[in-house]
Structure 1
Amino acid sequence: MCPNDEEYVLVYDCGSTNIRAVAVDAAGNIKAFSSLPNSPRQQPDGKPGWLIWDMEDIWRKICLVSREVLRVVEPRKIKAATIITWGADGAPVKRDGKLTYPPISWQCPRTKEVADKITEHISAWEIFRITGYQIIPFNTLFKIIWLKKEAPEALREAYTWLMMPGLIAHRLTGAFHIDPTIASTMMAMDLGKRSWSRRMLEIADLDESFFPEWREPGEILGYVTEESGKECGLPSKTPVVVCGHDTQFAIFGSGAKPGEPVLSSGTWEILSIRADTFNPTRKGFEEGLIIEADVEKNLWNPQFLMIASAVIEWVLQNFFRDIDEKRKYEIVISEMEKVPLGSEGLIFIPSFVRESGPLRKYGVMGSILGLALHSSRSQIIRAVFEGLTFQMREALKNLVESLNIRVNCIRVVGGGSRNDLWNQMRADAVKLPVIVPAQREAATLGAALISFVGAGYYESIDEARRSFFTEEKIFYPNYANSEILDKVFEKYLKTLENLKRLYEALE
């Protein structure tokens, strides 16, 4: 079918820091978008630091950004709507969709004790072998176990459990569902079989009947109800297509070939490939690899999950409060450009979530080393970007060794791909070309692509891919810079080894 730029998919791209509505045409071009900030809230009746998501506030923001986009794009031209969100978070609901307990945020510390005790029931290696997941406190299964103990009535009253895409999709359509991309973030799947793991569910004293019907990405889940349509501005009976976890849709929407690494850069960075086998190796386990279900059947996404832009935001909040919010990244990049490679001796270790990523094996916390009275915030922010780049370099090395693959480039997508200085730093650090698609919002693009297929606009994924816009920008390594960064990277690794010994002594 020839692309018709008069028809669109409306993607609700709901992240943990921003909620967006994006209208994408059949050639993969963004026609209109609107965004509002998102963040978890202190639970009113909870202990200090207990963070939850306010679903009514999220729905209100979805409706606001939706209506804003539909002022630009005629609602009748929306071919389908779909939802992608962050992973791990969900909630128990009644038959009418009302929550019996609010969604616990991945940033909430309450499940750490549950995570620490999980190996009394099953080894960490066995968890990885079955689910593809490492033990990370925010995993969904830990939240369910916590609820069993601390709020059992919430599960007793519940009809089922919905992850974040399911909660929003139910609000739009009234239908219950779960898809494999989001379920693979729960640490509850038998990932090789793309279904539930009986053994993992038994640990939480559950069985698969507690969860809703499996639906695959690209299927039509249902249709916008009259009530939700009045609230969000979509015509009733607009098809709602199943999507799911934003990470996998970013990989899918990047245009990567099989075995070609994709770095999805946002609050978290995920370095991943699309693999045709589920192969949880000891090497991958020891290095902190996780594996999730791909958008398409019979494919998997081995990946390293690393904290990224959340660290940059922490630095901006603490060192750059005086700058114009609208120009903050422009100003930061300008300050970075004044500092030579190596940040004049500063070393930044971005282990703000020590249980995840390629630095997990060192067991250290986030650190800034080499500070002196003359150290400037420009040096600090440069060191932060170098530290994050070195984290990615280590992840790439581990990915190659764990999967026994060869790579000749990296694709970078997501918000972190907008920073050309960072892209060049990445290319210089790994000595490989860095490819940035012209349409950098790959998760949104991937969701739109499969929704056009699901709604019948295209007959196949391959046909849709041929029609979507694919222009790219390539950053080639500067080998003079690479030589300097190699020396800084050696210091970075030595710093990690020394910090590891320090933390072992302290603990």
Structure 2
Amino acid sequence: MGRQLLIGIDVGSSGVRVELYDEEGNLIAVGRSSIARQDVKEWIEALRKAMPHIVKECMDCEKHVSIDSTSGTFIAIDKHGEALYGPVMYYEKKIEVFEGVKNLPEIRELAKRGITTDAASPYIKILYMKRTLKELYNNVYKFVPAATWLLYKLCYPKGEEWSDVKTDYTNALKFGLDITTTPPTWFKPLFDALEIDLDKLPGLAPSGEFICKAKSELAEELGLKNASVYQGMTDGNAAALAGGALDKGDVNIYTGSTTVPKVSVDKIVIHPALYYHIHPLNGYLAGSATGFTGAYLSWFAEKVLGLTIEEALRYAEVVEAGTEYLFFPYGDRGPFYDSSLTPALVNIVMYEQPREVVIGRVLRSIVLGIALLENSYLRLFEKTFNMRIADVNLTGGGSRSRFWNRLRASIYEKRVVIHGDLVGVGTVIPVIYRSGLYTRITEIKQRFLRPVDLIEPDRELVNIYKQFKEDFENKWMKLRELYKG
């Protein structure tokens, strides 16, 4: 047997990142390439550019590859895997279609099973296609998630018919998966009610299940010919695993353009602010995805103040703790799913201070509001699952600021564990587990998860922000009532 090479590929909306690990959990190489526009050819080209040279050069390596991508993004393909339509991105909405079906009993029943429907749900957009692009819809062989399409592009040579196409449970979730059954199945009553052909959806499989030995021309170009290809997952789940949410009670918050809090649990407790994934290893991942958080901070800093995000955080850091205004982020996704709930800054008081201090106070208020939103989910997790969270694992670009993480630890009143922004390791963890390379979760954590920082709460800041926490949740609910009025 040659050297083992574990390849985790993360295909996001702005770029592709490829991470290479050996069987001991050592990071061997990382490759990156940006995506200029959402086009399947652009994705493939970015994948070519991002693939580290060692993948081709290691001729005797036994290669194992899996892919994660954005949750809810899909492509309509023909029988040879060629894209007929799409990609249809996760953020695209069909509001009129949603408004027409949102009160169907089948949609309410699916919500009871942990899956919330909104205007961006894939089956809403598939229904739109059936109604307005009938000929195209009729010619579709399968609607497949982005990660699934890319994985099968490694399997089949050009022109060969794709057979037995499956997607993993995490990618299937937003397409109408019933995770309350064993094994999970498509929620047939929903598709019957919407008159969507269920045979146009792929089969189902767990993350990390073997798919094929790569034999396509693309695989050969990438240095992946004869590599073992495995079912992938959504980027949010990959980030959660890469950020330590492997065992019951583990919590991860991905903080980037949006905020994605997740907790590993062994049961489903229905709550309107939560949805569930099948955990790629055991049990479930309960969590949510908020509206824009980090993206709003970046937008405000750059477009309103002409600052980079790094400059904005430096302005915020020097402001006296406790003098912030109260900032409320978007509520169009979790926890409220209310499109009328746009960001707001309240409790604004004029201070006779230099301009840079006032600017810093506004920016620090936004930073604080995002941390308070994160904390509201931690409180929800503890209450819903009758648990006590000791550590909070953080991943994503928003976890790079030590100032912000110190603020977080003090608001959470919990230790914060920083895992950086590499999510590809999360993609390969189910491969490691299901292949039997390592079967104990504790050993996988020790070898493959290597935190870059640990931050304890600051007792002085804990006391300062206690009242902010109560005000945030109470006033956000009142703000929602105001918007509705």
> Does the TM-score normalized on the shorter chain lie above 0.5?
yes
Q: Is the 8 A contact 2:69 2:235 kept in 1?
A: yes
* Residue in structure 2 matched with residue 248 of structure 1 by the alignment: 237
With the length of structure 2 as denominator, give the TM-score of the two structures.
Answer: 0.87
User: CA separation of 1:402/1:220 partners in 2, compared to 1, >3 Å: closer, same or farther?
Assistant: same
Amino acid at match of 2:19: V
* Residue in structure 2 matched with residue 28 of structure 1 by the alignment: 25
Amino acid at match of 2:268: F
> Is 1:63 aligned to residue 48 of structure 2?
yes
- List per-residue Cα deviations over 1:191-237 (Å, max 9, x = no partner): 11111111122133134322223232222211222411343x21411
In 2, the alpha carbon distance for the partners of 1:364 and 1:9 equals 43
In 2, the alpha carbon distance for the partners of 1:366 and 1:318 equals 16
Q: Is the 8 A contact 1:411 1:436 kept in 2?
A: yes
User: Which residue among 302, 308, 317 is the counterpart of 2:286?
Assistant: 302
Question: Deviation at 1:63?
Answer: 1.0
Aligned residue-pair number: 469
User: Which residue among 58, 65, 68 is the counterpart of 1:84?
Assistant: 68
Q: Is the 8 A contact 1:215 1:221 kept in 2?
A: no
Q: Counterpart of 1:16 in 2: which secondary structure?
A: coil
In 2, the alpha carbon distance for the partners of 1:160 and 1:482 equals 52
* Residue in structure 2 matched with residue 384 of structure 1 by the alignment: 366
In 2, the alpha carbon distance for the partners of 1:75 and 1:13 equals 23
Q: Counterpart of 1:398 in 2: which secondary structure?
A: helix
Q: Is the 8 A contact 1:7 1:79 kept in 2?
A: yes
Question: Deviation at 1:245?
Answer: 1.1
With the length of structure 1 as denominator, give the TM-score of the two structures.
Answer: 0.84
* Residue in structure 2 matched with residue 356 of structure 1 by the alignment: 333
Question: Deviation at 1:377?
Answer: 3.5
Amino acid at match of 1:208: L
In 1, the alpha carbon distance for the partners of 2:468 and 2:269 equals 34
- What is the RMSD computed on CA atoms of the aligned residues? 2.8
User: Which residue among 201, 215, 218 is the counterpart of 2:191?
Assistant: 201
In 1, the alpha carbon distance for the partners of 2:370 and 2:95 equals 25
Q: Is the 8 A contact 2:376 2:473 kept in 1?
A: no
* Residue in structure 2 matched with residue 415 of structure 1 by the alignment: 397
User: CA separation of 1:258/1:494 partners in 2, compared to 1, >3 Å: closer, same or farther?
Assistant: closer
- List per-residue Cα deviations over 1:450-475 (Å, max 9, x = no partner): 33455664467666445435456321
Question: Deviation at 1:441?
Answer: 4.1
* Residue in structure 2 matched with residue 368 of structure 1 by the alignment: 345
Q: Is the 8 A contact 1:76 1:235 kept in 2?
A: no
Q: Is the 8 A contact 1:266 1:309 kept in 2?
A: yes
Amino acid at match of 1:36: S
Question: Deviation at 1:13?
Answer: 0.5
Identity %: 17
Q: Is the 8 A contact 1:23 1:31 kept in 2?
A: yes
Question: Deviation at 1:376?
Answer: 4.1
User: What stretches of structure 1 of length at least 5 have no aligned partner?
Assistant: 42-52
Q: Is the 8 A contact 1:358 1:394 kept in 2?
A: no
Which stretch of the first structure deviates more once superposed, 90-99 or 20-29? 20-29
Question: Deviation at 1:69?
Answer: 6.3
* Residue in structure 2 matched with residue 129 of structure 1 by the alignment: 112
- List per-residue Cα deviations over 1:233-271 (Å, max 9, x = no partner): 214111112111122233333334312322122333222
User: CA separation of 1:492/1:103 partners in 2, compared to 1, >3 Å: closer, same or farther?
Assistant: same
Question: Deviation at 1:481?
Answer: 0.5
Q: Is the 8 A contact 1:435 1:474 kept in 2?
A: yes
* Residue in structure 2 matched with residue 45 of structure 1 by the alignment: none
Amino acid at match of 1:21: V
* Residue in structure 1 matched with residue 159 of structure 2 by the alignment: none
In 2, the alpha carbon distance for the partners of 1:101 and 1:339 equals 50
Question: Deviation at 1:129?
Answer: 1.4
In 2, the alpha carbon distance for the partners of 1:312 and 1:448 equals 32
User: CA separation of 1:91/1:103 partners in 2, compared to 1, >3 Å: closer, same or farther?
Assistant: same
User: CA separation of 1:99/1:245 partners in 2, compared to 1, >3 Å: closer, same or farther?
Assistant: same
Q: Is the 8 A contact 2:281 2:430 kept in 1?
A: no
In 2, the alpha carbon distance for the partners of 1:469 and 1:133 equals 30
User: What stretches of structure 2 of length at least 5 have no aligned partner?
Assistant: 157-161
User: CA separation of 1:18/1:372 partners in 2, compared to 1, >3 Å: closer, same or farther?
Assistant: farther
- Mapping of 1:449-464 within 5 angstroms? 449-453=429-433, 457-458=437-438, 464=444
Q: Counterpart of 2:303 in 1: which secondary structure?
A: helix
